[in-house]
Amino acid sequence: MINQKLWVILLSLIFMHQSHGLQHSMSEDYGSMVMSSNHNNLPLGCERISGEENIIVSAGQRYAKDIPGTIYGMNQHEWDVDPCTRVTVTFINEDDVRHQWMVHGLPKYLYPAGMFYIEAMGGKTATGTFIVPSEDRNYLVHCDMTQHMEMGMRGQLVVGEGSGDLWAVTGITDPFYRASYLPDNLIYLSLVVLFLGYSVTSWLVRMRQKR
């Protein structure tokens, strides 16, 4: 009798665990994972799915070779899609280490924490589907493994007209540390300021000597 009860509890625990996974639409394969898949739920402002887009993303060190200062990279770092498109991403990890293709800033009523992501262990391929919102906007795409973004795995998903380039998109936009608020001709400006300073100082010194 007690044994039967235990079994019931155990089975319901297992069932709860599984349905919990389903609620978050998480699918896990050996060596790969897709978080927050969305095939049919329309974002607000989308009357229907406007189209289908299949994107193949390859990640690996070989894509970093031609881009100075990077170690990891992707075959491309910017993707353009129309609003309300259903996007299916096939993520091919050509490296030995784990990589992710993670989109940020999606609506939280459809995507927990505003994220959609695919993760693939070394040498694995994973495919996931989501629907992009109706607004024109740029979304950050990156790999969340420690330091991988800084090492080059940083991109942008441009929906519609977009909302302006993100900084430091590998091979596409300037790194933030180049301080975009400083003028490009900073070096010449500095020389002019130096020269003026020198002239004024030496003029003052000469005036003093004359007295």
What are the distances in angstroms from CA 186 to CA 121, 168, 174, 176?
45, 20, 16, 16
Show contacts with Cu ion in window 151-170 (CB under 5 A): 153
Of residues 131, 167, 137, the one with CA closest to residue 38: 131
Tell whether residue 92 is a contact of Cu ion (CB under 5 A).
Answer: no
The residues pairing with 138 across neighbouring beta strands, listed in sequence order, are 158
The count of residues interacting with Cu ion (CB under 5 A) is: 5
Q: Are 93 and 74 in contact (CB under 8 A)?
A: no
Tell whether residue 142 is a contact of Cu ion (CB under 5 A).
Answer: no
Tell whether residue 121 is a contact of Cu ion (CB under 5 A).
Answer: no
- Exactly one of 121, 145, 168, 172 binds Cu ion (CB under 5 A); which one? 145
Q: How far is the CB of 73 from Cu ion (least distance, A)?
A: 10
Q: How far is the CB of 100 from Cu ion (least distance, A)?
A: 6
Burial 177-191 (b: 16+ CB within 10 A, else e): eeeeeeeeeeeeeee
Q: Are 32 and 126 in contact (CB under 8 A)?
A: yes
Q: Which of these ranges, 2-10, 28-36, 44-52, 149-157, lies near Cu ion under the rule CB under 5 A?
A: 149-157
Minimum CB distance to Cu ion smaller for 57 or for 153: 153
Q: Which residues form the interface with Cu ion (CB under 5 A)?
A: 99, 143, 145, 148, 153
